[in-house]
């Protein structure tokens, strides 16, 4: 029999044991965690929409019309008018011909990748891709080649020697580093090698590009350049779920083949209705993005001056590199003692020796919130014995 207790004890010894906080109240920078008020810098609610009154009202207004439960899968009798309207809205938002609404980003990646590649095919996946992409690759039973993070020369060499259908998959914005994939180069390489490109823009949607239309729109990459776009709705969009956007033919294909679309209950339609309202706010309110960018710029300047090592990121994901697991935990705990919540991210979420604090910003943070974080970081600098960014 498997010794659960011993395995868990090993994890604890390695500084890898994970625990859950109990949050009460809505998601916002001022959180109540296990009964203690904390200022949070760790959610993915980048635009501060998770608790927006207009979006909440859209959900509650929809419910008398739609009821609550999804009740059946989309292919049985769960495909509601509200889901359809959201798909039309998402296609327009992303500048694609059509879109398909999934229940979560995890399921979208699992379903799309395993539908588009199979035995005899080869998938090329960036080493730092999200866990749901890694699992989608495994589920597909295709041969999987992981290329070094963002390394287009290595990818070109791998593509040249591959058999079967070729599929290249990447995060748009990398979830633990905050950097952006070389998307234009990827599009060109995929065209040259007749490979299908899949971009998961979970952290770009709502944040990057004109009106928050995402990383691909920012670069002017069309449906021809990137045939398969995946986005999630639980992060900047502030609701729940995910989508795939691309050609009508692709959606028709996925409806037949994506098992995580077919064999799961449809999302409550009221969530789809609320998401439409959120997309309107995202398109209309540029001030959220400009405030967010000014917080990010100020954080990077000040944290670098304090001697913290940051990553080359211009997104709301701003990791502070620490290195070993215990120091990352110690820094996170010291900040918490000062009333701040910043999560330590450890292996296997990031590579061994690259433990970090993952600081994330939201348009709901105020200048004062940022000042509190920077003041606390100034006091905690001595907790990590890593050379300062300037010294390297």
Ligand X SMILES: *Cc1c(COP(=O)(O)O)cnc(C)c1O
Return the active site residues. 175, 203, 235
Taking the alpha carbons at both ends of the chain, their separation in whole angstroms is: 49
104 binds ligand X (CB under 6 A): yes
- What distance in Å separates the CA atoms of residue 260 and residue 62, rounded to the nearest whole number? 26
- What distance in Å separates the CA atoms of residue 37 and residue 5, rounded to the nearest whole number? 32
Residues 363-382 that bind ligand X (CB under 6 A): none
132 binds ligand X (CB under 6 A): yes
Residue 176 C-beta: closest distance to ligand X, Å: 9
The residue range among 80-88, 99-107, 254-262, 316-324 that interacts with ligand X, by the rule CB under 6 A, is 99-107
Q: Which of 40, 66, 94, 109 binds ligand X (CB under 6 A)?
A: 109
The residue range among 61-69, 198-206, 214-222, 363-371 that interacts with ligand X, by the rule CB under 6 A, is 198-206
Q: Which residues contact 331 (CB under 8 A, 6 or more apart)?
A: 320, 322, 344, 357, 380, 383, 384
Which residues carry a binding-site annotation for pyridoxal 5'-phosphate?
105-106, 175, 203, 232
Residues 162-191 that bind ligand X (CB under 6 A): 171, 175
Q: Looking up tokens 């588009």, which residue turns up?
A: 116
45 binds ligand X (CB under 6 A): no
106 binds ligand X (CB under 6 A): yes
122 binds ligand X (CB under 6 A): no
Residue 36 C-beta: closest distance to ligand X, Å: 26
DSSP code, position 106: H
269 binds ligand X (CB under 6 A): no
H helix intervals, the chain: 4-13, 53-66, 81-94, 105-116, 131-140, 152-160, 183-192, 215-218, 248-257, 259-262, 269-284, 286-305, 325-337, 367-380
Residue 80 C-beta: closest distance to ligand X, Å: 19
Residue 388 C-beta: closest distance to ligand X, Å: 30
Q: Which residues contact 71 (CB under 8 A, 6 or more apart)?
A: 77, 78, 265, 266
Which residue minimizes CB distance to ligand X? 105
CA 108 from chain center: how many Å? 12
Which residues carry a binding-site annotation for substrate?
18, 130, 349
Of the two residues 131 and 192, which places its CB atom closer to ligand X in the complex? Answer: 131
Contacts of the segment 214-223: beta carbons below 8 A, 24+ positions apart: 214/94, 214/172, 215/172, 215/173, 215/180, 215/181, 215/183, 216/94, 216/172, 216/183, 217/94, 217/95, 219/183, 219/184, 221/183, 221/184, 221/187, 222/95, 223/95, 223/96, 223/97, 223/247
The residue range among 50-58, 102-110, 258-266, 339-347 that interacts with ligand X, by the rule CB under 6 A, is 102-110
362 binds ligand X (CB under 6 A): no
40 binds ligand X (CB under 6 A): no
130 binds ligand X (CB under 6 A): yes
- List the x/- string, 207-246, binding to ligand X by CB under 6 A: -------------------------x-x-------x----
Q: State the helix-helix crossing angle for 105-116 and 131-140, rounded to 10 degrees.
A: 30
Give me the residues that bind ligand X (CB under 6 A), please.
104-106, 109, 130, 132, 171, 175, 200, 202-203, 232, 234, 242
């Amino acid at each position: 029999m498997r010794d659960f207790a011993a395995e868990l004890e090993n994890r604890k010894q390695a500084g890898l044991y994970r625990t859950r906080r109990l949050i009460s109240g809505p998601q916002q920078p001022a959180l109540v965690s296990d009964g203690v008020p904390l200022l949070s810098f760790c959610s993915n609610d980048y635009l501060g929409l998770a608790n927006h009154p207009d979006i909440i009202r859209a959900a509650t207004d929809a419910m008398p019309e739609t009821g609550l439960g999804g009740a059946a899968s989309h292919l049985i009798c769960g495909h509601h008018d509200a889901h359809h309207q959201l798909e039309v809205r998402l296609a327009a938002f992303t500048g694609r011909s059509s879109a398909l609404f999934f229940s979560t980003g995890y399921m979208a990646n699992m379903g799309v990748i395993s539908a588009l590649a199979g035995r005899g095919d080869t998938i090329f996946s960036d080493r730092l891709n999200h866990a749901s992409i890694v699992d989608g690759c495994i589920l597909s039973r295709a041969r999987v080649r992981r290329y070094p993070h963002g390394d287009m020369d290595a990818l070109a060499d791998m593509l040249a020697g591959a058999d079967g259908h070729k599929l290249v998959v990447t995060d748009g914005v990398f979830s633990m580093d905050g950097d952006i994939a070389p998307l234009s180069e990827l599009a060109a390489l995929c065209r040259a090698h007749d490979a299908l490109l899949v971009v998961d823009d979970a952290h770009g949607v709502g944040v990057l590009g004109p009106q928050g239309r995402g990383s691909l729109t920012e670069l002017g990459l069309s449906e021809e350049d990137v045939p398969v776009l995946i986005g999630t709705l639980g992060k900047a969009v502030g609701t729940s779920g995910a989508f795939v956007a691309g050609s009508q033919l692709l959606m028709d294909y996925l409806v037949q083949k994506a098992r995580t679309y077919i064999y799961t209950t449809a999302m409550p339609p009221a969530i789809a209705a609320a998401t439409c309202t959120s997309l309107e706010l995202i398109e209309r309110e540029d001030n959220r993005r400009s405030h967010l960018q000014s917080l990010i710029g100020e954080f990077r300047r000040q944290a670098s001056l304090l001697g913290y090592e940051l990553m080359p990121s211009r997104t709301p994901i701003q990791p502070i590199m620490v290195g070993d697991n215990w120091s990352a935990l110690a820094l996170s705990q010291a900040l918490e003692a000062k009333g701040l919540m910043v999560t330590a991210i450890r292996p296997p979420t990031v590579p061994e020796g690259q433990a970090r604090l993952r600081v994330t910003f939201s348009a709901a943070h105020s200048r004062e919130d940022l000042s509190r974080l920077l003041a606390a970081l100034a006091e905690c600098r001595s907790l990590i014995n890593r050379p300062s960014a300037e010294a390297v």
